[in-house]
Amino acid sequence: MIADGYEAFLFDLDGVLYRGADPVPGAAEALARLRSLDKGIAFVTNNSGRSPQRVAERLRAVGVDADADEVETSALTTADVLADRGVRRAFVVGEAGVVAALSEAGIEVAEGEPDAVDAVVVGWDRGADYTKLRVAAVLVQRGASLVATNPDASFPAADGTKWPGAGALLAAIETTTGVRGEVIGKPYPPLLKAAHARAGGGRPLLVGDRLDTDIAGAVGMGWDSLLVLTGISDARDLEGSQVRPTYVADDLRGLFVDP
């Protein structure tokens, strides 16, 4: 079966393990079975707003056994990457999850209108306004590096409409300054590398529901991937896509069949 070929399983969340507040059929059983096989597991999310503890709670609420130590969020990776680079002080266009992750990594989050910082960090921010974007743009012009937790253009609202995502806020600062931001989340490598380490290393399989972030990210890393058709991308998207997953399955039960 497919699962035999891999040691580390990296799971996207929405559309794979839950859909909004609802469980995805077969997900809890699949995770339990991988654990019984002693596989490494990590949960990977571009969402920068929720802490690892909240993510793990949300997984447990849909029946998926999960520990906060197995969760890699784009906020966490961003904070670790910046701390490793010696960033001491940052200005944030983002919500509490980003601020908490930076603070825990020892990075001071500047309030108000600072004169200078080492980095401007952009995530999803429902409280973003002109002042925040102006301050961020000015700080980048004064030499701060520009980093975004994730590139998502939009946030899928419950009523089916799209709201501006972290990528849309990043674009405002990029357009103003002409500076291209560095993106940490999927499909870019930093988040995926951190998640792989969190799963204990070994041969990875990325499991996701989106061709443009999950599967494209795996392809970029040279990793195998499983596209499950329980979320965003469907069989028709796959037909029209240049991005090819290694495997496709209707749901996570596909991990336990022969390829």
Q: Which of 6, 8, 10, 12 binds Mg ion (CB under 5 A)?
A: 12
Residue number of the CB closest to Mg ion reads 15
CB of 197 to Mg ion, least distance (A): 21
Choices 11-19, 183-191, 196-204, 221-229; region in contact with Mg ion by CB under 5 A: 11-19
Task: Find the shortest distance in angstroms from Cβ 141 to Mg ion.
Answer: 35
Residue 12 or 80: the one with the smaller Cβ distance to Mg ion is 12
Residue 20 tokens, joined: 């909004």
| Smallest distance from Mg ion to CB 150, Å | 12
Q: Binding to Mg ion by residue 80, rule CB under 5 A? A: no
Q: Which is nearer to Mg ion, 190 or 231 (CB)?
A: 231
Site size toward Mg ion (CB under 5 A) is 5
Residue with tokens 């209707």: 250
Residue 174: enclosing H or E segment and its boundaries?
helix 166-177
Output the CA torsion 130→134→137→143 (10° steps): -150
The window from 48-56, 158-166, 176-184, 208-216 that contacts Mg ion (CB under 5 A) reads 208-216
Token pair of 6, please? 């891999």
The correct pick among 3, 9, 10, 14 for binding Mg ion (CB under 5 A) is 14
- Strand 89-93 to strand 71-73: parallel, antiparallel, or no bridges (unpaired)? unpaired
SS3 127: coil
For strand 8-11 and strand 18-19, is the pairing parallel, antiparallel, or unpaired? unpaired
Q: Active-site residue among 4, 12, 65, 125? A: 12
83 three-class SS? helix
Rule CB under 5 A: is residue 15 a binding residue for Mg ion?
Answer: yes
Looking at beta carbons only, is 14 or 70 nearer to Mg ion?
Answer: 14
Q: How far is the CB of 238 from Mg ion (least distance, A)?
A: 15
Burial class (CB in 10 A: 0-12, 13-18, 19+), 111: exposed
Q: Binding residue for Mg ion (CB under 5 A) from 10, 209, 217, 228?
A: 209
* Subset of residues 218 to 247 that bind Mg ion, contact rule: CB under 5 A: 231
Known active-site residue 69: no
Could you confirm whether 152 is annotated as catalytic?
no
What's the CA angle centered on 166, arms 82 and 178, to 5 degrees? 75
- Residue 149 burial (10 A CB sphere; 0-12, 13-18, 19+): buried
DSSP 8-state class, residue 145 = E
How far apart, in whole angstroms, are the C-alpha atoms of residue 228 and residue 208? 6
Q: How far is the CB of 208 from Mg ion (least distance, A)?
A: 6
Asked if 217 touches Mg ion (CB under 5 A), the answer is no
In the complex, which residues of this chain contact Mg ion (CB under 5 A)?
Answer: 12, 14-15, 209, 231
Active site residues: 12, 14
